[in-house]
A and B are shown apart, each in its own frame.
Chain A
Amino acid sequence: GEDVEQSLFLSVREGDSSVINCTYTDSSSTYLYWYKQEPGAGLQLLTYIFSNMDMKQDQRLTVLLNKKDKHLSLRIADTQTGDSAIYFCAESTLGGTYKYIFGTGTRLKVLA
């Protein structure tokens, strides 16, 4: 079945760039997303990319999509302590079920 995998932990120093990686198996994915979850809260959509795109930039966030390798990454430039959270990648397919498949989440810790 469909699967989305992420590394569990990432630690970076404040001001450095963070790169969070994700691999997925469903080649029919239409949208790929990055969500952020702060402690005790729900998930908040950070950014998304349509499957016919290779890259999307939104302020400090850059999303790269390698469809051939089914690999998605999120780069956060100038990482701040407020970026410490769990980051989930997710995929969905338009039409049909509208369900998401979420990754396992990557816990980002930013060191001052």
Chain B
Amino acid sequence: EADIYQTPRYLVIGTGKKITLECSQTMGHDKMYWYQQDPGMELHLIHYSYGVNSTEKGDLSSESTVSRIRTEHFPLTLESARPSHTSQYLCASSRGGGEKNEQFFGPGTRLTVL
């Protein structure tokens, strides 16, 4: 079944640790996105990719980095986590163009940095 997955769903970690949030989609979508969302608040685009080896920073400045070595995989890395990184991180993908240009969202990773 075509879907978009994020792991872990929940992560509690200490300050200074390096973490990687995983995102994978099985729909063959070229476009992938990372959003940061405080609980119940608006979404902020922090990274996006239009295909393999293509990554761009989003509208909200973020200390995280991303990579896109395979079409289906778009991991996000924080080299040194801080309490200010505590938030929910949502990954999304889209085919781009065509009918309705829908973005499909993963379930999110809720990150808490102590």
Residues of A with Cβ closer than 8 Å to B?
30-31, 33, 35, 40-45, 48, 50, 86, 88, 92, 94-95, 98-100, 102-105, 107
The 10 closest A-B CB pairs, nearest first, are A42-B105, A43-B105, A104-B42, A102-B43, A98-B96, A42-B107, A48-B100, A42-B108, A45-B102, A42-B106
The range of chain B's interface size is 20 to 34
B48, B94, B97, B105: most-surrounded residue (chain A CB, <10 A)? B105
Q: Which residue of A lies closest to B10 (CB)?
A: A40
Residues of B within 8 A of A (CB): 6, 31, 33, 40-43, 45, 48, 50, 90, 92, 94, 96-97, 100-108, 110
B51 → chain A closest CB, angstroms:
11
Q: Given contact pairs A30-B101, A98-B94, A103-B42, enumerate 14 new A-B contacts (beta carbons under 8 Å).
A: A33-B100, A35-B105, A40-B110, A41-B108, A42-B90, A42-B105, A43-B43, A45-B104, A50-B100, A95-B97, A99-B33, A100-B45, A100-B103, A105-B42
Q: Which of B90, B102, B107 contacts A48 (CB 8 A)?
A: B102
Instruction: Tell whether, in the assembled complex, residue A41 and residue B107 are in contact, meaning their CB atoms are under 8 Å apart.
Output: yes
Q: Identify the closest chain A residue to B4 (Cβ).
A: A42
